Amino acid sequence: MSCINVNHLSKSYGSVNAVDDIVLSVNSGQVFGFLGPNGAGKSTTIKLLTTLIPPSSGSLSILGVDAVKNPLNVRHKIGVVLQQPSYEPTLTVEKSLDKYGMMWNVPKKIRKKRMEQLLQDFDLVEIRKKRNEDLSIGQRRRVQVAREFMHDMELLFLDEPTVGLDPSARRKLLDYLKNKVKTGLTIFYTTHILSEAEYLCDEIAIIDKGKIIAIDSPNALKSRFGKEKTIKIHLLETQSNISALLSGISDCKINFETGTNIIIHSEQSELVLLQVLKILNENNIQIEDLSAVPTNLEDIFLKMVKENASNN
Amino acid sequence: MHPIIRLVNRNLTISLNPGFLIWQVIFPLIYIFVAGYAYAPLINDVPFGGKDLDYPAFLASGMIGFNIMNSTLISGILIWNDRRHGMFEQIMSGPFTRSHYILSNICTIGIIGLVSASLIAVVGYPVFFESVEFSFITIPIIIFGAITGSILFGSLASIISTRIHSSEGFNVIINTVFLFFAFVSTAFYPADGAPEPLRTAFYLNPLTYLVDVIRAGIFGTITEFVIIEMIILVGIASVLFIIASKLLTKLDF
């Protein structure tokens, strides 16, 4: 069952189409990643989906509610962590959580229980009495994300929630989110950090210049767009004639760095590697290190955005 | 709990801190007990609505209006802080509408204005108790003045907070405007006897009407002119409230 249905949604500011005729469907109980370069339209899309701004055209259904006609009904059911920091400077961490729960009409007893749990889960116990204005950027971000779990929701929008977090806090948050999804929560997640998307997301959409250029699971995207593999060979000694020796190998692109490093890009990487090894062996050239770099989402993302730019 | 009540609760929690409360009481006390008694030998009885008031009593009653105006600065600061620290957008993505947000601000400043007026009335009571004439009409008039004045100045502070983008600009404009209101009014001195241009300027200032209405309520001197002042006060408060609401409705994310 899908909890977000977007049909030909557009948002224009004057002559600029920030979001251009996007069609999107997000299934319940999964993490949906929304990726794109700066200015691609990610934040505008989040603002449209969270009913902060109305669309210029198109229709939008969130959790079965028409979000254009009934934005308040939608907002009762969702949680939102926006990209920009949001906090009340004079409140302490625990007061921030409690007041946020109160704003969502969560009964006092439940608020107290949830607050204690969230202080633990987000490593906020030690700073619970500190005022928001005295926190570091990372601590403030953790409070901002933790605060959203004070209330019940069916769908959570997270707009680059790990900005400012150290690697350990980042991983902890991703694992926390994974566990929440297991309880039935759906997450709409935007990020610049593609390893995060790869780790967390069940499905990914890539947006560029306001248009969605791909939607699929990370693995499907890899097999569709990531056939080319990279092999790195580090030679024991500098070989001045290496370029000439390998020039006869077809179906690949070979780069040489400093006479000892060979980088091979090919869709037939296994066959090409065999040929390279054979040539090196025949010429008594010793290898110090060899590695195959798996295709990651970042490569695919960069490739797709580049291709989209050249197509335009 | 209604969304507006929840937002008022939140507004009061973040606005009312011990520093603000002390400032709200200490500042007027210095005016009343230091300036009031220091200037008393220089200023004879002040005529007001057919009564002769001594200067400390005149000043103490003026400080109620002055304090209401000062406390409503909170409205502007609230909106300013919410925009600056991302809470406006956060609240608007939650179970609230812009109308909830606007009305909660009005309720907040109404409550703070009333509490502020009550504080100064209690503190200033020993100063003006000899001339006080409370009745069934005068007390509602004081409450009316406190609420209308709060809405008026709160709306004005809200308008400024929606139009100014830098914190320096916001502070300079708010302080300049409120300084003008404070000293070009009848809060500290009577209009009678002031030079004609200054007297005219006094009556271009809504604080004059607020202070006059509060004084009339305290000293039981309700005249036709005071009723006209009440009508003017309602008119200005309504216009400013409508403008503030429109600007808040159009506020972009």
Q: Testing the interface with A: which of B5, B13, B89, B90 to mutate, by most A Cβ within 10 A?
A: B90
**Residue B19 touches partner A, C-beta closer than 8 Å:** no
Q: Sheet of A203-208: strands edge to edge?
A: A78-81, A155-159, A186-190, A31-35, A203-208, A211-216
Rounded to a whole number of angstroms, the distance from the CA of B103 to the nearest CA of chain A is 15
Q: What is the pLDDT of residue B85?
A: 92
Q: What is the pLDDT of residue B37?
A: 86
**Residue A77 touches partner B, C-beta closer than 8 Å:** no
User: Which one-letter DSSP state was computed for residue A126?
Assistant: G
Phi, psi of B218 (to 5 degrees): -70, -45
Q: Any idea of the CA torsion for B54, B59, B61, B63, to the nearest 10 degrees?
A: -170
Residues A48-65 have pLDDT tens digits of 999 999 999 999 999 999
**Residue B175 touches partner A, C-beta closer than 8 Å:** no
**Residue A14 touches partner B, C-beta closer than 8 Å:** no
CB contact under 8 A, A87 and B93: no
Q: Taking 80 as the threshold, does the pLDDT of residue A311 lie above it?
A: no
Rounded to a whole number of angstroms, the distance from the CA of A16 to the nearest CA of chain B is 17
Of B13, B90, B97, the CB nearest to A72: B97
Percent of chain B, pLDDT > 90?
A: 28
Which structure tokens are listed for A124?
A: 């906020």
- Give me the residue label for tokens 């939607």: A215
Q: Taking 70 as the threshold, does the pLDDT of residue A254 lie above it?
A: yes
**Residue A75 touches partner B, C-beta closer than 8 Å:** yes
Q: What is the pLDDT of residue A146?
A: 96
| A223 confidence band (pLDDT: 50, 70, 90) | confident
**Residue A11 touches partner B, C-beta closer than 8 Å:** no
Q: What is the pLDDT of residue A312?
A: 66
Instruction: Give dist(CA B99, CA B248) in Å, integer.
Output: 9
Closest CA to B231 of B213, B218, B211: B213
**Residue B90 touches partner A, C-beta closer than 8 Å:** yes
Instruction: Give dist(CA B217, CA B132) in Å, integer.
Output: 9
Rounded to a whole number of angstroms, the distance from the CA of B14 to the nearest CA of chain A is 7
Q: Testing the interface with B: which of A62, A88, A100, A141 to mutate, by most B Cβ within 10 A?
A: A88
Instruction: Give dist(CA A177, CA A185) in Å, integer.
Output: 9
Of B9, B97, B253, the CB nearest to A52: B253
| A226 confidence band (pLDDT: 50, 70, 90) | low
CB contact under 8 A, A80 and B96: no
Q: What is the pLDDT of residue A15?
A: 85
CB contact under 8 A, A102 and B253: no
Mean pLDDT of B173-198: 88
If one compares A101 and A225, the residue with the highest pLDDT of the two is A101
Instruction: Give dist(CA B246, CA B73) in Å, integer.
Output: 19
Mean pLDDT of B8-22: 85
Q: Testing the interface with B: which of A43, A70, A90, A154 to mutate, by most B Cβ within 10 A?
A: A90
User: Which residue blocks in chain A are alpha helix, DSSP H?
Assistant: 42-49, 71-75, 93-103, 108-121, 137-148, 167-182, 194-200, 218-225, 242-246, 269-282, 297-311
CB contact under 8 A, A102 and B89: no
Q: Which of A220-234, A293-307, B117-131 has the lowest mean pLDDT?
A: A293-307
If one compares A117 and B67, the residue with the highest pLDDT of the two is A117
Residues A165 and A119 sit within 8 Å (Cβ to Cβ): no
Mean pLDDT of A95-119: 96
**Residue B132 touches partner A, C-beta closer than 8 Å:** no
Which residue from A minimizes the CA distance to B252? Answer: A53
Residues B211 and B120 sit within 8 Å (Cβ to Cβ): no
Q: What ipTM describes this predicted complex?
A: 0.81
**Chain A residues closer than 8 Å to B92 by CB:** 52
Which residue from B minimizes the CA distance to A140? Answer: B85
